[in-house]
Amino acid sequence: MNRICILFIIIICTSCVTPHFTHTYQSAYTSLDLQTNNWLLNCNSGGMHPVNDKIFTKKAINGFSKMGIDTINNFKDTTLKYITPSLLSFNTPEEILKVLRSTTNYNYLVNILAKEVHNNYFSMGGASIKRRSAKIEIKVYDLATLKSCYHKKVIASVRFEKDKENNILYFIDDVDHLKIKALREALKDIKKKSFTK
């Protein structure tokens, strides 16, 4: 019985395709000062299934909270004067940042955007290759200066090829789970490089 379990675990482990992560900074700064109290989070999960959307948002809130931020509120769960969801985009206009600064006590606005990049098959040299990737971007605005102080992209991608001769079963993440893994990777990088309490 133990041999069957061990064999099953080995088959599962060798059949899993793990994602590769690519980090790109779009800003001059690669770290954040996480010692300031009030943060507002605006998550756009890019059309995830509602269950996965809740997981994505919860991971973002918990990730920042574990870094020492005292208060981080999800925009969707917060009532703000003069700001509606349609006004708060990923690239937030300066006018909206001014309204946030003057009508709230938040110090920073964190925008997170998730997108599907690839989810397709293509052929190369007689092999069928499955490519799946998702991207998340995190953009942080300092409401004191009304400027973006941090902008990072993380792409999670998986790729495997299936020869016509081999009938191997692969376990591969769907796009929603790649977005969640990219978010986790980005938060890990922020924690490693930022100033915390």
Mean pLDDT across the stretch 125-143? 82
Q: Residue 55 in 3-state DSSP?
A: helix
**Strand ranges of the sheet holding 20-25, from the earlier edge strand across to the other edge:** 20-25, 147-162, 127-142, 108-124, 38-44, 71-74
Q: What pLDDT sits at residue 13?
A: 45
Mean pLDDT across the stretch 60-83? 84
Mean pLDDT across the stretch 129-143? 87
Contact 69, 83 (CB under 8 A): no
Mean pLDDT across the stretch 26-42? 79
* Total tally of structural domains belonging to the chain: 1
Residue with the bigger pLDDT between 49 and 12: it is 49
Q: Report phi then psi at 82, rounded to 5.
A: 70, -5
Mean pLDDT across the stretch 143-154? 91
Where does the pLDDT of residue 175 fall: very low under 50, low under 70, confident under 90, or very high at 90 and above? Answer: confident
**Two structure tokens written together for 132:** 């799946």
Q: How far apart are the first and last CA of the chain?
A: 50
Mean pLDDT across the stretch 21-47? 81
- State which residues form the domain around 126: 2-193
pTM, two decimals, is 0.81
